[in-house]
Structures are given as C-alpha cells and as structure tokens.
Structure 1
Amino acid sequence: MNKPLIIGIAGGSASGKTTVAEKIYDSLRSKSSTIIIRHDDYYKDQSHMPMEERVLTNYDHPFSLDNGLLIEHLKLLLENKAINKPIYDFKEHTRSQDCEIIEPVEIIILEGILVLEDKGLRELMDIKLYVDTEHDIRFIRRLLRDMNERGRSLDSVVTQYETTVRPMHMQFVEPSKRFADLIIPDGGENMVAVDLLVTKINSTISE
C-alpha cells in the first residue's frame, strides 16, 4: 500500500466540519479505504484525577489534547501499521478502557476544532481545510444541539460558550485558518467545495 493521504479538517464548534468530513468520507469510501479520526478521542487521560477536577477541564484549549500520541499514531499509519486508537468517555471525563483498532488505509480524515493549531500535526497533512461559519450560526447550532441531544440547560450552554468556547475560538481556532490550503464557507452545505475536494483527492490518489 502507498503512503496514506492525510486530510485535516478544522473549524469552530458547530461550524459543519463533521458534516464536511462525513460527506468527503461517503464520496471516497467506495473507491478507496478511508477512515475518519476525531481529535476528540485524543483528549488526555484524566483517570488519575477526582471527578470534581475532571469536570473543570477546558476542552477547547490545546493543552487538553494528547497531540504527542496522535502524532505517534499517524506516523504508524503512514508506515502502514495498525494502531490502537483511544476512545474518550465524555460522561466520565476521561479515556475509556476500550480502544479501537485502526488498520492501515489509503485516506485518513482528521477532524477537530484544533487540528490546524498544532505544527506537528500540520506537517503530517497533505491537505488542510478550514470550515468557516458565522459566529451567530455556530452558536445557535450549538445551543440547539446541546439542549436537544445532550440535555443541557440554556444557562449552562450560554455560560460555557461565554467562558470557554468563544474565548478559545478567538485565541486558538480562528487564527489557525491561516494555515489552511482551502477555507470552506458554510460548512457541509457547500457541496461545490466538497465536490471539488473529492475530485482533487481522487486525482492525487491516482497519481
């Protein structure tokens, strides 16, 4: 197997980056072995901490992520070696005791709000994307998602957004789009950009 192609997809919370990742995945998987790796699964293990400390974790800050392990795993995949990918348990605020075996594939889609913030990760990527969506649209999406799907209260969602999500976005996520090869407006609704990307990826693989 040739060296895998790594596609990094970043963007703010609820920007549509997951939708873009899934649409690219759906368009490629019939022709090439493809997998999505979510940055979220590489949050640091907190099993050594009491629960009252775990719940205070700022998941929007780069320090919350174990990029060293992710880089190690990506390098193994680039060598066509399998990895044991961690699985993060958000209810327990730490890593699950289970893991997922990832076999070598042709295309790796790496998705997360901070995947372009880390230089070591960027250096492993062949294509770097940033999904750019207006702040108010992202906030409304996040509000509806957290209340309807995660049982959060209105006050808790607004407080988290004001205290961590927006400040971390402005400090770390938004500046990282300068590293993108392509900025995609309007997330998964931008099918022109997705189709162009899939065509480019297929062309790269063929070469």
Structure 2
Amino acid sequence: MRPTIIGIAGGTCSGKSTLTRALSERFVDQTAVMLHDNYYRSRPDLPLAERAALNYDEPAAFETSLLISHLRALLAGECVEMPTYDYVHHDRAEPTITIRPRPVIIVEGILVLTEQELCDVCDIKIFVDTDADVRLLRRIRRDAVERGRSLESVERQYLQTVKPMHELYVEPSKRRADIIVPEGGSNLVALDMLTHRIQRIIEDHAAPGAS
C-alpha cells in the first residue's frame, strides 16, 4: 500500500511546524517529515552578502523538482537523502538526512501548495491560516534568537520579500487546500481530527492484505 502524502502550507511562522511536529510525534514510527525549506537552492557561487539578499520566499528559491523526485521515490518504496540548510550562511549544508518510506509522509513549507506539480503528489492538502501580526512577531523571535540575525535584517527581509511574496504566492495557494486550519498546532480541534484521520491511514496499512 503506497504512503499517504500530507502537504502542510501557510505563511511564515503560521504554526505549520507546530502542527507538523505534533502529528509526527504522535505517530513517531509511522510518519516521515520532508521540509521544503531544506530544498532551498545551493548558491555557493555567490558571496555571503549576496546570498543573504536573495529572495527566499518565491518559488524560484526552491529546488522543488528535487523534492518531488524524492517524494516519488518514497512512494516507490525507496529511501532518499533529504538535504539540509544552513540559515546562518544562507546555503545548503553538507549533511543529509536519510528519509525512509512510512505510511504517512508530511511535507511542510510556505509554498507547498503553490506549484501544481507538488500539489498533485499530495493526497491531503492543509493550509495553516494565522493573523499576519502574530506571524510577524513569531518571525522576529525566531530569526533574531534562533538564527542569529539582527532585528534590522529581519525587518528589511520581511518588508522587501516576505510580505509581498506572501500576498503574491502563499495566500492565493489557500484555494488549493482541502482543509484550512486556523492557528496551526494550537487548534486542538483540528489537531484531533487530523490525528484520527492519520490513525485510520496507519490502521489501513497494517490491515491484513494491505500492499
């Protein structure tokens, strides 16, 4: 029986990761998580200052074709090596993460529902919808504290690329979603519904005769 792929999209710091983490921790041995952010294009040809100035919130910033090929390999029962990304140096890192096929594969990222080919691979499409002010405050805290960026650089990136790209690409992708979840992992009702759906998928995989 082929894996079920769940795509989770939404704006920056909307709660996608919280929702993904809650689901994957609940079914730790039955889920695999693929992060779209790990598929940012490698640009070692550019100096750090130029890499930092790139637009990381448009579809062209991602090597989505590689992600899709990895998902298709997982559907075929093959293991893949998911790349990792260094947010301090703004470039793809050397280590990779081995992802093995699981009954449920979760794909998470702001633009997961933007490109039709990636949507077509997803069986269940979820959009996490959170107020813009809340997302901005969370992004400031994340980028300044966790990723070591200055407040000025976070503000500049948000105004120059994050906000306009959200309006151009992310928000319209909501129309492709099967389910819209306000507040992401904080929405306990939605989390309970998704948990029960995933439980049924896992039970179907374990049923006698499943292949």
TM-score (norm 2): 0.91
Q: Which moved more, 1:160-169 or 1:53-62?
A: 53-62
**2:108 corresponds to:** 111
Q: Aligned letter for 2:144?
A: M
Ranges in structure 2 where 5+ consecutive residues have no aligned partner? 205-211
Moved more, 159-168 or 136-145: 136-145
Say whether residues 1:153 and 2:132 are aligned partners: no
Letter in 2 for 1:194: L
Deviations 1:35-62 (A, max 9, x none): 1111011011112333333222211111
Aligned to 2:46: 49
AA matched with 2:15: G
Cα displacement (A) at 1:100: 1.7
1:63-120 C-alpha deviation (Å, 9 max, x unpaired): 0000111111100000000111111122232222221222221111100000010111
CA distance in 2, matches of 1:71, 1:87: 16
Q: Give the alignment partner of residue 189 of structure 1, picking from 171, 186, 189.
A: 186
Distance 1:153 1:95, change over 3 A: closer
| Number of corresponding residues | 204
Query: Which letter does structure 2 place at the counterpart of 1:147?
Result: A
Task: Tell me, yes or no, if structure 1 residue 85 matches structure 2 residue 91.
Answer: no
Compute the displacement of 1:181 (Å).
0.5
Please report the RMSD computed on the Cα atoms of aligned residues, expressed in angstroms: 1.4
Q: Where does structure 1 lack aligned partners over 5 or more consecutive residues?
A: none
**Cα deviation, residue 186, structure 1:** 1.4
Give the secondary-structure state (helix, strand or coil) at the position aligned to 2:121.
coil
Match of 1:24 in 2: 23
User: C-alpha distance in 2, partners of 1:18/1:186?
Assistant: 11
Cα separation, 1, equivalents of 2:41 and 2:23: 28
> CA 1:101/1:125 → structure 2, altered by over 3 Å: closer, same or farther?
same
More displaced stretch, 14-23 vs 141-150: 141-150
Secondary structure, in 3 states, of the residue corresponding to 1:60? coil
Q: How far apart, CA to CA, are the structure 1 residues paired with 2:104 and 2:52?
A: 35
Measure how far apart 1:200 and its partner are: 1.4
Identity of aligned residues (%): 46
Bigger mean CA offset, 118-127 vs 43-52:
43-52
Please state how far the C-alpha of 1:192 moved relative to its aligned partner: 0.7
